Amino acid sequence: MVKVKDLKWKQDMRVSELVDSYEHIGFQSVELQRASEVIVKMKKDSAKVFLTFTSNMVTSGLRGFFAQLIELGIADVIVTTVGGLEEDIMKATGEDFQIGSFQTDDVELHEKGINRVGNLLIKNESYMNFESLIERILKKLYEKQKHWAVSEMLREIGLMLDDENSILYQAAKNDVPIFCPAITDGAFGFHLYLFQQDHPDFMVDVVKDFGNILFASSFDDRKGVIALGGSISKHHAILSTLLNGGAEYAVYMTTAHRTSGSMSGANTNEAKSWGKVKDESDVATVIGDVSITFPLAMIHALDELAEDGLLESLKRNNEDRGANT
């Protein structure tokens, strides 16, 4: 058994030292330290890593961190929701989001044309700029071809961006496919609809992309899932791993609780009952705000991978690898 040990502050203490000490504190800190170890393990074991996150995380400052992780070769497949991709494009084209407050007058915000995501604020103007941009993007896509699988379309959009902190840009540059099964569930979807009204032969094929995510890995691969938040992004990834024999590694980080019976709250043990995560997999479920828990766990993991000289090789492997789709 591991003993409980008292946490002690040290001046200039590193994140990794802090997370190491979590193993001995208790409650969710133990799970967080364990999540970090599972992430290290999935990378050391050459698992195909499915990183999933919901759009609110891209609204936050985690967006650049996700892009960095793609660049470093941590993620092999991304699954997310369309709002995050819209906001990634907005930020790539210079839009700023603001920190507000959870306790605010939402009617007043509405009158000012400001939208609230938790304590983050997005101006309507940002959406207007996005909408005028997306029309030009769709025209370019249409000129190139009429029929797009979602991930192939997102790759093409990523190649049009020029921002090192962009998820779409880094994914395109590093041949990491981004899957977004609910592509119509946002402003982007609305514009796809409008564009299709004028161009009836323009088709974005979600079904074809389901095949692409299935073939992004195989029964030969070990598979790891890092699911940040819940929803369709989490489910789509683990459904894909289920159809390829189940994931060997899974880290879930969420504020949702299992008691609701929802996909968002389902923990890694529940996933085992479906075969989405293998019976003998290494798993950790961390209940807590991902904006706090994920950077701690991931930075600890990155430090360990860097210490073992593996980050460069991950990046190299990423560069050597062909497109996954």
Partner 1 sequence: MSSPTVPSPKFTLSKKVVLEQYKKVREVVDIPAFSSKTNPRVSPMIEENTDGFLSVHMINELKHLKDMSRVLFLAQGWTSEIVEDLYERGIRSFAVDNEFDLDVLLSTIEPTDWKITLLLRLKLKEHSLRTERYFVFGMTSDVINERVAQLKDDPHIEQLGVHFHRKTQNVNEWKIQQDIEDVLSEETLEAIDILNIGGGLPSEYANTNVDVIGGIFRRLTELREWLHEKEIQLMIEPGRFISAPAGKLITYITGVYDNNIIVNASVYNSDMDAILVPVKLRVEGEVGNNAGKPYVIKGSTPCSMDLFRYRVYLKDEPKIGDEIVFINAGAYNFTSNFCDLEEIPTEIIE
CB-wise, 37 or 209, nearer to partner 1? Answer: 37
Strands (E), the chain: 48-53, 77-80, 98-99, 114-117, 120-123, 147-149, 178-179, 203-205, 223-228, 247-254, 277-287
- Cα 154 from Cα 131, distance rounded (Å): 16
Taking a C-beta distance cutoff of 8 angstroms, is the pair 250, 283 a contact? yes
Question: Is 276 among the residues known to form the active site?
Answer: yes
Q: In what order do the strands lie in the sheet with 247-254?
A: 178-179, 77-80, 48-53, 223-228, 247-254, 277-287
| Region of 136-144, 161-169, 180-188, 306-314 interacting with partner 1 (CB under 8 A) | 306-314
Among 119, 218, 260, 262, interactor with partner 1 by CB under 8 A: 218
State the amino acid at position 208 in one-letter form.
Answer: K
Q: How far apart are CA 203 and CA 269, in angstroms?
A: 39
> Rounded to the nearest whole angstrom, what is the least distance from the CB of residue 124 to partner 1 in the complex?
44
Using the rule CB under 8 A, give the single segment among 61-69, 79-87, 95-103, 308-316 that binds partner 1. 308-316
* 162 forms part of the interface with partner 1 (CB under 8 A): no
Active-site residue, from 146, 276, 278, 315: 276
Asked if 14 touches partner 1 (CB under 8 A), the answer is no
Decide if residue 236 touches partner 1 (CB under 8 A): no
Q: How far is the CB of 298 from partner 1 (least distance, A)?
A: 16
185 contacts partner 1 (rule: CB under 8 A):
no
Residue 322 within binding range of partner 1, rule CB under 8 A: yes
Distance CA 114, CA 95 (A): 13
The Cα–Cα gap between 74 and 302 comes to 9
Q: Which of 14, 46, 135, 289 binds partner 1 (CB under 8 A)?
A: 46
Q: Is 6 in the site for partner 1 (CB under 8 A)?
A: no
How many CA atoms within 13 Å lie on the side-chain side of 243?
13
By CB under 8 A, is residue 273 in contact with partner 1?
A: no
Residues that bind partner 1 (CB under 8 A): 1-3, 34, 37, 40-41, 43-46, 218-222, 248, 280-283, 307-310, 313, 320-322
Residues serving a catalytic function are: 276
